[in-house]
Each structure stands twice: as C-alpha cells, then as structure tokens.
Structure 1
Amino acid sequence: MQSLSVSLVLIAAMAVAAPLAARFVERAVKVPIVVFEIVLGMVLGPSVLGWVQSTQFTDTLADFGLAMLFFVAGNEIDFRAIRGRPLRRASAGWVISLAAGMAAGLALTSAAEPSVIIGVALCSTALGTLLPILRDAGQAKTPTGIAVTALGAVGEFGPLIAISLFFSGRQLGAASAVLLGFVLLTAAAIFLASRSQHVLFHSHITRTLHTSGQFAIRSIMLILSLLVVLSTLLGLDMLLGAFAAGVLWKVAIARAPEAERTVIERKVDAIAFGFLVPVFFIDTGIDFELASLTSSPLALAMVPMFLGLLLLVRGLPSVLAAPAGSTSAAKRAIVLFGATGLPVIVAVTSIGRDHDLISSGIASALVGAGMLSVLLFPLLALRQLQGTASPQPASENEIP
C-alpha cells in the first residue's frame, strides 16, 4: 500500500512537471509534452533512480489512458475532410509500409511470426500523439494537417486490424469472422446514431452540461467501456474498440449545438490529457527496460536502426498522401509526421513479448525508437512547416 501511495504521488508530480519543463525549454526548442512524460518516468522509475514502481493499479490507469488516447483520435478525425484523395493515398502508403515492415522484420529475424510483430509496429503512426501537436501548432486544419490526419487514421486503424487478425489465436478464418462481426456491429451502431435526431439525448446533455450530472461525460465512459469490453471479449485488441467508440460518439453528438460540442470536447480533453493520457506515457517510461538496451550492444544498436526504418518504411510511403502542389518542405514534414509512432508500438511489442515472439531486447529497441520518433520527428516537421505556405485543398473531383 505504501508503494502504491508513493507511486501515485510521484506520477502526479511528474504529470505536473512535464508541461512546466516543456514551457521552460520552448523558447529554445518546442518539445512535445509526451517526451518529458516518458523521460521523467524512465528517470524516476526502476531504470535509473528507482523511486517509483509500476503497480497493478497504475498499469490499469495506464490502460485507461491508452484507451482514452485512441478514443480522442477516433473522435477528432473529420472523415469529411480526409475522404477521397487523402484517405486513398494514405491507405495505399500504409499497405506499402506494412509490406516493407514485414520484409524488414523477416530480414532481421528470419521467422514469420516475429516479422509480423515488427512489421505492424513499423507501419504505425501515432495519430493520438500528433493531433494535440498539430492543434497546438495551428496546423490541424491546413491541407498538410489534413493529410497527416489521414495518415494517422490509417496508421492507427490499419495496425489495429492487423493486430486483431494476427493475435486472435492466429486462426485467420475465425479471426476474420470475429473482426468482421465487430466491424458490422459497430457500423450498424454508427449508422443508427447518424440517422436519429437524439432529441431527448441532447436535451439531457444540455440540462446537465454544467451540473454534477455530467450526462455527456458519463455517456462517453459508457460507450468507451462497452466497445472496449466487447472487443476484448471477442479476442480483438481493446484499442480497436476505443477507436470505434470515438467515432461513434462523434456521430452521436454531431447534431448537438456547436457551443455544447465545444464544451464537451474541452471536458474530454481535461480528462484525457489532464489525467489519463499522462499516466499512460509516464507508465511507459517507468516500464521501459533500459537495462535490456544498455546490457546488449546489439539491442542498443537496433534503436537507431529501427528509427531509420520508421523513416524508410513508414515515412517515405507517407509522402503519397501529400496534397497536390505541396512544397518540398511540406513533403518532408509529412514524411516525418508519418514516421512518428509510439502507442501502437508499445501495444504490439507488449503482446509480442507476452506470446514469446520477440525478445525483450527487440521490444525495448522498438519502443526506444518510438520514443525518439516522438521526440525528434514532430519537432523537425514543424520546423519544416515554419514560414511555408500550405497549398489549397485539392478538389474532390481531381484525379490523383
């Protein structure tokens, strides 16, 4: 109990220290807050100082944080903005990334199953991490930001599909049937939600928006819990359910007054980025096995190798999603944004280790590369976009 109490206090302290540290260095360099959260977790965790330990309770909170991160990603995607050319090009790039990632994994391990783990990890894009960065930088609604959103949507949803197909007992036929059933059930719920006016639902949200009732937030937690539990019971990855919950909520609340939607989004941001998401990233740092890297020169050498593979395997194909007429700087930014990955990498490597498919050294190297990608690539990408003019969005009828 004492260990849990100390861990909770120190995690809360790290969550407060991270934005202060980001603010302190932003005049020299703008570093995403998640980088400080991960680094602080590593420094205070068992890898360095050993002041804070991961517990079952903090791991559960971290799982909620990861689910909330994917919920926000699903909720913030504007499918009307990314449909057509951006989504088609992003999907084509992701297929290339998956094939290239699996080929790289096969070359490294000479085995089929570990190559799938490595390939899925390398073809991911951290949309939930990138969205706040794009929003804070004022790039979310630009054509380049829309392209990155399309890349992130495919780069998170695609790996979740691949994870679910591969890890559902590794029986492709049964896994495909279960996945199809989940997708059809979710699609039906989204369709019904889009067709209904939700008059009573919206009126109760309005009445409780500024009271202790908080019907909207309670409804969000119910939808998130239902789809996460459903996906888990079906043997699918819980992140697929969290992502679908975000999309479903976006449809359900679409006809509410804009002012109320804005208030709800701020409340969700407060819960996600003020509480649960920081716990996930801090816990990632705490659980990071630094000893697996430092004790093995080979594993340590794999970190820059995987970082380079993220650029090669995921970043280069991402340029397919660049808006028509993009400058060279904008294309370089899209490559860097597309190669930014961490949450899916953490999830995939954790499952891979649980199934004894990859070593702790490979898992730590992949996570380490993901951490460095979050540290370096968005920063370099934003520098590429500084002082550049974004092209006008391409016409929906334009031939790609």
Structure 2
Amino acid sequence: MDNPGTLILIMAMAALAPLLTASASRLLSVPVVIFEILLGILVGPDVLGLAHHDQVIDALSDLGLSMLIFLAGYEIRFGDVGVPVLRRAGGAWLISLALGLGVSLAINSGDLARSLVIGTALTSTALGAVLPILRDSGRLEGRFGAVVTGFCAVGEFGPIIAMALLFSGRSPGVASVVLVLFALVTAGAVWWASRPRPPWFGRIVAATLHSSAQFAVRFVMLLLAAMLGLSELFGLDTLLGAFAAGLLTRLVLTGSVPESSEVILSKVEAIGFGFLVPFFYVVTGIDFDLKALLDGGRALALLPVFLLLFVLVRGGPVWLLAPRDLSSGAERGALALYAATCLPLVVAITTIGLDEKAISTGEGAALVGAAMVSVLVFPLVAPWLLARREGPGAGAGGARADRGGEAW
C-alpha cells in the first residue's frame, strides 16, 4: 500500500461521522452519509490535502459501492411491493428518462454524449440511502414503505440498465443482446436460488453461525463475487451484478434458512455499513472537485438547477403515477421526494462521464453537489410532510403501519 496513512485517515473519518450525526441530532436529523462525504472533502486535496489515492484505496471504494447496491437489492421484497406498484414505478421511470434526456438535450444544445450522462443521472434514486432512513424512522414496514421501496428500486435499477446500454461502448443492438444474455443467466440463477437447499446446507449454516467458520457469510460473499464477475465477463457495469446478487441472496436465505436470515444479514450489514460503504462515501468526498464548483460561476449556478431538475424530472412523474390509495398531497409529495433522493449512481454516472470527457469537471461537481444536497434535504422534508398528514398523535411508524393490508 502506497498510502497507509490515507487508509487510517479514511477509517478515522468513518468512525467520526456517526459521532457527529449523534451530536447534530439534537438540532437536526442529518444522514450519516452527509458527514462521511463532508469529512472526505475536508481531508481531500481541495481543503487539507491529507488524503491521497492508491490502488488499494480505489479497490476498497469500488467494493463499498458494490456492497451498497448489494444491500439495496437485498432489501427489496417484490412480494410486498406488488406488480401494480412496480408497473407504475416503471412507467414513472421511463417518463423520467424521456424528460431527463429531453431537458439535457435542450440545455446542452444537442450535445448527445453530455445529454446522455446528465439525463441518466437525473433519473436515479439512492435506494441504499433511502431504505436505512425509512427503517430508522419506522416507516419501512407497511403500505407506504412498500410503495417507496418499489419506486426507489426501479429508480436504482433503471439507471443501471441504462448505463449498461448507453455507456458500454457497444452499439445499442449488441448491448441489448448482451444484456438479454445476462438476464437469462441471472434468471437461471434465480431459479436455482428459489429451489430448496439440501438438508446439509441448513445444518452447516446453523453450526457455523456463531463460530469462526461463518459459512453463511462466506456463501453470501461468494454470491456477490460471482455476480460481480459475471457482469464483468459480459462487459456490463458491476453495479448490475451487485444488485442481482442482493436479490439472489434474499431468495437463498429466506427460502433455505429463514430462521437465521436476519442474523446473517446483520453480519453482512456489519461488513457493509461498518466498513465498506462508509469507505466509499468518504472517498467520494475526497474525490469531490470543490475548486471546480467554487471557482467557476457556471458550475455553482448549475447546482440549484440540477437540484430542481431532480425534483421535476424524477419526482414529478412519481407524484403523477403514485398509487391511487396514496390520495393526499403529503403522501405523494413524500414519495416523490424520497424517489428524487440520489447520490451513489450520480457519482458512478458522473465518473463515467468524466472518464469519457463527456462532461466537464465543473458539471460533474455540480451534479454530485446537487445529489449531496438531495440526500440532506429531501429525506428531512418528506417525514415532515407525513407528520403533518398523520397528526401529532402518530407514532414513528405512523398511519402507514395500519395500512399494510390495503388492496394494491
């Protein structure tokens, strides 16, 4: 490792972030990811200049992003979401994609490469950031949590598919064929994951659950590595493999060892949220081009524009196509704000755009900066809207927990 001090510094910032979150909670509920990114900016080259990149840092950061998407894929319970909600979510995302590309082409004078990057980024949702916030607030269970999960899942999965089609370097036809082949292989993996596991599987899981062998955790890591390798083999973005691995892991664990699945997940989350995911966010802050954002007037002016476009392009169609039983404006508004919350995929898409020289560093900083503000602001405003709807007597789960059995 070329920079052992940077590794120690990143982990120190990751450990400091929850402490700052707890201190700030007396005044304002700030997601821990915001402090992770801000601390990364602080130690990065544009402020203190203490942190420096090497291959180990980059590899751990990439693993952190993959783990974040993996955990988001695991959280999705399609049986709870329901086909009608997914159909509406898919329609809303397609409208967002059309709007995003149209707006981007208009403001970029028909520059196709730049418009593809910005337009796709405008359609993304940070499912991995939204779900922990919903879980911590007690709103993940029940009807509202299922609807948010469905719309946010499509907002995460859709841009990953778009990235595979638009940014692979292949022609659209060839990219589509490759994507279909990957889908067929994944479908075969889903069929395998849905089959009952042999008796020895459950016995080994139970016998090693609290021992140094940890077979279940190693098996989950094997699934993740296999799907990452498969996506790399097909020349697709590894985030697609990470998302698919999360879905497969839920099928395997809930179908084979349901009594131990929550314990296993807690161990995997400890690896993810305790190490790899905060590592990714701190490195995101280190990579953030603060000078490009502050030195150029255009870049700084673009930040509020992109923030508004996240609401209009991503949140607008979600508000329009929200399920009919979410009849109040507060519920629809909260759903739209959660869906417009974005960051990880914006970082990934922006990185691709910068590597391909499709966007400038200032535009990239404005996009990531607007995404950071969305993670800070939108999840704070959404619960406030719901609290007004539910009234002062509602608990953490509010009225949503009582509506879990409503018709879809």
- Per the normalisation by structure 2, the TM-score is 0.94
Kindly indicate whether residue 332 of structure 2 is the aligned counterpart of residue 331 of structure 1.
yes
Residues 326 and 332 of structure 2 are in contact (CA less than 8 Å); yes or no, is this contact kept in structure 1? no
- SS of the residue corresponding to residue 281 of structure 2 reads helix
Residue 299 of structure 1 corresponds to 299
Write the deviation string for residues 210-259 of structure 1: whole angstroms up to 9, x where unpaired. Answer: 11111111111111111112111211110000000011111111224443
Please list the CA deviations of residues 235-287 of structure 1 after superposition, one character each: whole Å capped at 9, or x if unmatched. Answer: 11100000000111111112244431111011011011000000000000000
Match of residue 378 from structure 2 = 377
In 2: Cα distance, 1:282 partner to 1:66 partner: 11
User: Displacement, 1:185?
Assistant: 0.3
- What residue identity is the alignment partner of 1:392? R
Matched residue, 1:24: 23
Q: Secondary structure at the match of 1:151?
A: helix
Provide Cα deviations, 1:47-77, integer angstroms capped at 9, x if missing partner.
2111222322111101000000111011110
In 2: Cα distance, 1:236 partner to 1:187 partner: 16
CA deviations 1:131-153 (Å, max 9, x no partner) are 11110110111322211111111
1: distance between equivalents of 2:284 and 2:227? 24
1:152 is aligned to 152
Q: Which residue of 2 aligns with 1:217?
A: 217
Query: Runs of 5+ in structure 2 lacking a partner?
Result: 391-398
User: Does structure 1 residue 140 correspond to structure 2 residue 140?
Assistant: yes
Q: Which amino acid aligns with 1:199?
A: P
Task: Give the aligned partner of residue 53 of structure 2.
Answer: 54
Equivalent pairs, count: 396
Aligned to 1:232: 232
For residues 334-353 of structure 1, what are the structure 2 equivalents within 5 Å?
334-353=335-354
Equivalence for 1:386: 387
Q: Is the 8 A contact 1:147 1:323 kept in 2?
A: no
Matches within 5 A, 1:348-359: 348-359=349-360
Q: CA–CA distance in 2 between the matches of 1:120 and 1:39?
A: 25
Structure 2 Cα separation of the partners of residues 82 and 246 of structure 1: 16
Decide whether the 8 Å contact of 1:54 with 1:287 is kept in 2.
no
Q: Tell me the secondary structure at the aligned position of residue 35 of structure 1.
A: helix
Partner of 1:129: 129
**Distance in structure 1 (CA, Å) of the matches to 2:255 and 2:176:** 34
Encode CA deviations 1:300-330: one digit per residue, 9 max, x unaligned.
1001100000000001111223461442222
Deviations 1:341-380 (A, max 9, x none): 1111111111111111111111111111111101111111
The answer to whether residue 26 in structure 2 is matched with residue 15 in structure 1 is no
Aligned equivalents of 1:199, 1:163: Cα separation in 2: 40
Partner of 2:66: 67
SS in 2 for 1:357: coil
1-side partners of 2:198 and 2:113: how far apart? 46
- 1:208 aligns with 208
**The residue matched to 1:324 in structure 2 has which SS?**
coil
Asked whether the 8 Å contact 1:324–1:394 carries over to 2, the reply is no
Counterparts in 2 of 1:128-277, with a 5 A limit?
Answer: 128-277=128-277
CA contact 2:72–2:243 (8 Å) conserved in 1:
yes
Q: Secondary structure at the match of 1:254?
A: helix
Q: Is the 8 A contact 2:124 2:342 kept in 1?
A: yes
SS in 2 for 1:148: helix
1:358-369 correspondence runs (5 A): 358-369=359-370
- Contact kept, 8 Å, 2:322 with 2:332, in 1: the verdict is no
Q: Give the TM-score taking structure 1 as reference length.
A: 0.96
Structure 1 residue 42 and structure 2 residue 46: aligned? Answer: no
Distance of aligned partners of 1:257 and 1:10 in 2 relative to their CA distance in 1, 3 Å threshold: same
* Counterpart Cα distance in 2 of 1:150 and 1:392: 16
Distance 1:306 1:150 in 2: 24
Q: CA deviation at 1:114?
A: 1.5
**Which residue type is aligned with residue 386 of structure 1?**
A
**Which amino acid in the other structure matches residue 333 of structure 2?**
R
The answer on whether the counterparts of 1:54 and 1:286 sit within 8 Å (CA) in structure 2 is: no
Q: Secondary structure at the match of 2:260?
A: helix
Q: Which moved more, 1:62-71 or 1:77-86?
A: 77-86
Separation of aligned partners in 1, 2:143 and 2:53: 41
Q: Runs of at least 4 residues of structure 1 off by over 3 A? A: 256-259, 393-396
* Inter-partner Cα distance in structure 2 for 1:58 and 1:104: 36
Identity %: 48
